[in-house]
Structures are given as C-alpha cells and as structure tokens.
Amino acid sequence: MSVRYPLLLLFVVVAASALSPTGNALAQGRERGGTPSPHAGPGGAPPPPLLGTVEIASDNLAALPQWTRVLNKIGDEKKAVDRCDASVDACASAEIMAWRAMIQGLRSQAPLDQLSEVNRFLNTWAEKPDDANYGTEEYWASPLEFIARSGDSEDFAIVKFFTLRELGFTNEQLRIVVAKDVLRNKDHSFLAVYHDGEIHILDSVSNSVLTQNDVKYYVPFYSVNETTRWAHIVVHAQAAVAAGKPARGTR
C-alpha cells in the first residue's frame, strides 16, 4: 500500500483545519437514551488520543476517493448479503456463507469476544498486495471484494470495520488507521476499536487483540470512519522513532 497521497492530505489538513486540536468532538456524541457513547472513558470522559497523537478532525471525505468508493458500494453489497442471509442458495460462494454464519453466531456474544473472533476469522485470508491482486499500486477493497479475492492490510481493516458495524458497533467506535510500521519499515493499516474507555487494535499480522497501550511500533498518518477523517500529528518522541532515531533521553 502507498500513503504518498494521504501524507499530502495530512499537511493540508494541518494547515487548513480550524477544528479542535484534539479532533475528538466529531467522534463523540451520545447513544439512544442519552447514555454516554460506548467508547467514552469512565464518567463519560473523551477517549484517549490514538497512539498518543494530536488529532485534527474533518468531516470532508472527498480527499479519500478510495474510501468513498467503498462507502458507495456498501448499499449494493448489502442487497447481495441480504439475499445470502435469506437463502444459502443465493450466496455467491462458500466463503461468503462462512462469513455470514460467523456473524450470525456472534450476535449474542460479548463485545470483546466479538472483536477476538472477527479478527481471528478474517485473518485466515491470505494477504495479497494490490499490484498482484488488482493490477494497481493502491486499491481499497469492499467487503465482498475482500471475501472473494482477499487484499492487503487496509482491506483487512475495511472488512473488519463493516463486520463489526453489522454486529452493533457504532461508526464512532471504529476507525481504519493508516500508519507507519517502524518495526518492519513499511506502511500498514489496522482497525482501531473504541470500547469501554480502551482503544483495541485489530491487526492482520496478529490474531491477538491488543490495546493501544501494548502497541508501540505504529505511528499513524491518518484515520477514518464513515463520517470523519483525522490527521495525526506525532509528538517528538514518536517522530524520532518513525525516523529510526532514538528519542531524546533514550538509548
């Protein structure tokens, strides 16, 4: 995957945005009945910033055409999924049947169990780079495209995003994150899930669901859900790590 265009987006958003520096206002809100959003911390406090970054939010998704294309496909794909749910004879493949059965089986499970099983199940697909899979440097796959052909890291994050939406997680609880993996020295995407004051990381390279406090090797460029995108500004220590240099005061 390539993030050269999103990196330009990062600097445009930083320079132009007049939104709150924390970037959390658009991601908050309240659930039915006036209770705090489920990703809020104790006492309804706002969630922590993602991986310790400064967040700048915008509700303009036009700068992410790959993502808006996926969003535009969801309606048509839902019709195909609904037909499959109504009759197995209408399912296009055994893989789609297995995916739908997994979702149905998880509806009554606890949220953390849902996160673990969704991550594990979808990680059984083999990762494939966009150039080999789609003949292009960068392509964000919709859920049914992923089920049929697999994909690279952001495609895993996308299918997990919409799978969890079906299981009742709100848009505000979920973000697809595009980051630098400083251990492997490559760009990488994963899904961040906000639940009970924690940020949980669903990653294609691990079946374990970790909290963000356990993840020290990702430096986020930007994140996005169905309504909002966030630019992420790293603090000095993170910037040094991303550049492969020791932070001041470390060895």
Rg (CA), the chain: 18
Sign of the alpha-carbon torsion through 21, 23, 24, 29: positive
Other residues' Cβ atoms within 10 Å of the Cβ of residue 238? 21
CA-wise closest residue to 194 among 47, 71, 69, 74:
47
Indicate the pTM of the whole model: 0.81
Each of the 251 residues of the chain gets a pLDDT tens digit; together they read 554 444 444 433 333 333 333 333 333 333 323 334 444 554 556 778 999 999 999 999 999 999 999 999 999 999 999 999 999 999 999 999 999 999 999 999 999 999 999 999 999 999 999 999 999 999 999 999 999 999 999 999 999 999 999 999 999 999 999 999 999 999 999 999 999 999 999 999 999 999 999 999 999 999 999 999 999 998 754 554 555 554 443 33
Domains in the chain with CATH codes: 4-242 (3.10.620.30)
Two structure tokens written together for 213: 């406090």
Task: Report pLDDT for 47.
Answer: 73
